[in-house]
Chains A and B, each alone.
Chain A
Amino acid sequence: MSEFLQFVASGIGQGAIYGLVGVGFVIIYNVTGIINFAQGHYLMLSALTAVSLREAGLPAVPALLVAIVAGALAGVVTDRLVINPARRHSPLMLIILTVGVAIALEGLALLIWGVNPRRYGPFTAGPPLEVAGAAISRQTLWVLGVTLAMALALWWFFQRTLVGKAMQACAMNRDAARLQAINPAQMSLYAFTMAAAVAGVAGVVLVPITSAYYDMGVPFGLKGFTAAVIGGLVSPFGALAGGLSLGVAEAVGVGYVSSAMAEGVAFTVLALMLVLRPEGLLARVRMRWA
């Protein structure tokens, strides 16, 4: 049992990251109907930017904030330069366009940062803490805290602000939203910006755990997508829960079987979800935020 608890403790941090990436998939999919292939690449961009700024000697807080803004800007660029001009294209073309954005971002990162992984230390130094017999690293606690804060912020945004409610309306019915003077193109911009910013936050808190490297976009994107699918692709909280369970499942797979299993677990879960319950485990009819 204590062994199992240890796996939970080591998987839950990664899982929260998958969840945050998954939240971005949910927001963009519900507001625009697009699966954004570049979702994991915003995380990569923010993570590598943060490393560079830290290496340049910027203090931690401004460095991380600027890096998150850089990720969000990539979202803005995706929407304004690529998605918005192609609004009338078929869904097939829109997906391929986001693939194009992802490849371009990855190539750009390769040119700027090279192939070697880079990292900075944990936010607070010190030995792991002991919780119920399992050691949990301090950075994992930071990840969980930030994830909780993001979840609360998202809940507040979608429940309490006019823009948040407008985005929900857009998710429910784009045409009806338009009749209420909501501009879907503007909502799409907000969705891409928010999704990229959330992924960026995930990126900068993740660096001390896994390092940052130019081709992390695809694995984190695919796992974030898996997390979102577990949650039925309709609910940000479902995506977070999906991410946590995926992270733990991975850690258990690595612990009990082998480290080569880690990739296998996520793909198997994705395959099972898509075959057995494409509507997700926690699915409800429409996007729900609480």
Chain B
Amino acid sequence: MGLNRWGFLAFLVGIFGLGVLLIPVADALPFLTRANLVVFALHAIAAMGLTLVMGFAGQVSLGHAAFYGVGAYATALLTAKLEWHPLLAMATGAVMAAILAALLGRVVFRLRGHFLAMATLAFGLVFYVVMRGWDSLTGGNQGTGGIPAFALGGLRLDSDTSMYLFLWGVLMVGIVAARNLIKSRPGRALVAVGASEVAAASVGIDVARAKMSVFALGAIYASVAGSLYAHYVTYVSPDSFGLLPSLRFLVISTVGGIDSVWGAPLGSAVVVLLTEGTREVVPKFVSGATGSYEIVAYGLALVLVLLFLPRGLAGGLALVVQRANEWLRGRERPTPAAVLEEVELR
């Protein structure tokens, strides 16, 4: 999208307005609540980290929820037990997640893409097993509670609505940060790595380092979201950071589209609708359905979107906008210069 700085700011304000508008929409729809909006925003922030990893470094992670868990547990233990300031606890969690990701990245990024998926899957499962087994620190299966609501000066986020609006703000910051990153020098290096590792290496980009840093950055997004999640639910247990959450982040990023900063919010909205929709519809057909059966919808959505919209919903939407523009302005034959410009923007 060729928006200048002011255009982008205006766009952001518009998007924030859209976020506010979602509140009456959720109120009006029978199967949505404001709590769903909070979940939507939390998952969007965490998944944006995964979108960066997948889209801009061409790497897949099946253990993203572990970093979400690092933030959540850091906040839980530091604020509830040691009574640290929420921001300090959040920052500590983010640093720990980044270090963990960098260490994991050092090992894992020597592997080819196929192995990487399995290695991150194993990492996520190990995190889950450790959180469950390390009773004295994490409370094991029972988890750990007593986490105070997020408070910053006079601002106290103890309702769904205030939490949601705050999270929209964080989401906007995340989007701007991601967008600026892509346009920066290290960001362009990342895009190059995602396009072709060999070509990137040949122009002097340290491929391993670039991948490690984007992996660490993605972990920070997840960790911050995890910290806010812990403040919101006031209680954390391992099941929120196991395999299913990791797969959910994967679905959010992929369905939304991995080469756009808008992919994660779009994907997160879709996943909330899929989850609540499935929970609404399935019991009417299958009596006594239990467990997280919404995953059937996740799987189908993942396959269908990848088959028919490989660039995700954001990619599809961009195409629609482009076509609409062409139609409104009358079809112009693109000049060679315009084509070049577009290629460069990608």
Contact = CB atoms under 8 A, between A and B. Distances in A.
A290 interface: no
B300 A222 contact: no
Contacts of A85: 307
A152 interface: no
A60 B54 CA distance: 47
Contacts of A96: 60, 250, 254, 302, 306
Given A222-B118, A263-B125, A274-B119, A92 B60 contact: yes
Interface in B96-131: 107-108, 110-111, 113-115, 117-119, 121-122, 125-126, 129
B173 interface: no
A274 B108 CA distance: 8
Interface in A210-268: 214, 218, 222, 225, 229, 260, 263-264, 267
Contacts of B297: 107
* 8 pairs of A and B residues whose beta carbons are closest in the complex: A107-B296, A104-B299, A100-B302, A103-B299, A107-B295, A100-B303, A35-B114, A267-B122
Given A222-B125, A263-B125, A97 B118 contact: no
B11 interface: no
B288 interface: yes
State which size class the interface on B falls in: 35 or more
Nearest to B114: A35
A217 to B, nearest CB: 11
Residue of A35, A107, A115, A264 ringed by the most chain B CB atoms within 10 A:
A107
A270 B125 CA distance: 12
B299 A100 contact: yes
Most buried by A among B118, B243, B289: B118
Given A93-B306, A267-B126, A271-B122, A114 B299 contact: no
B247 interface: yes
A5 interface: no
Contact of B286 (A82, A111, A275): A111
A270 B121 CA distance: 11
B62 interface: yes
Given A95-B60, A222-B122, A225-B118, A101 B303 contact: yes
Contact of B290 (A102, A105, A114, A222): A114
A232 to B, nearest CB: 12
For B251, B298, B299, which residue has the most chain A Cβ atoms within 10 angstroms? B299
Contacts of A102: 299
A278 interface: yes
Contacts of A267: 122, 125-126, 129
Given A95-B60, A107-B293, A115-B291, A101 B299 contact: yes
B114 A29 contact: yes
Contacts of A92: 54, 58-60, 113
A264 B122 CA distance: 10
B243 A107 contact: no
12 contacts: A29-B114, A35-B115, A97-B302, A100-B298, A103-B299, A107-B299, A110-B292, A114-B290, A222-B121, A270-B119, A271-B107, A275-B107
A35 B118 contact: yes
Interface string A23-37: 000000100001101
Contacts of B299: 100-107
Contacts of A270: 118-119, 122
Given A85-B307, A214-B291, A218-B243, 10 more contacts: A37-B117, A86-B306, A99-B250, A101-B299, A103-B302, A222-B121, A222-B122, A222-B125, A263-B129, A271-B126
Contacts of A108: 296
A95 B291 contact: no
B294 interface: yes
B187 interface: no
B282 interface: yes
A95 B121 CA distance: 13
A133 interface: no
A103 B291 contact: no
B316 to A, nearest CB: 15
A89 interface: yes
Contacts of B294: 107
A145 interface: no
Nearest to A271: B122
B186 interface: no
Contacts of A107: 292-299
A95 B60 CA distance: 9
- Chain B CB count within 10 A is highest, among A90, A96, A101, A267, for A96
B143 interface: no
Given A111-B286, A111-B293, A278 B298 contact: no
Contact of B129 (A93, A103, A264): A264
Contacts of A82: 303, 307
A115 B288 CA distance: 11
A89 B133 CA distance: 40
B310 A106 contact: no
A91 interface: yes
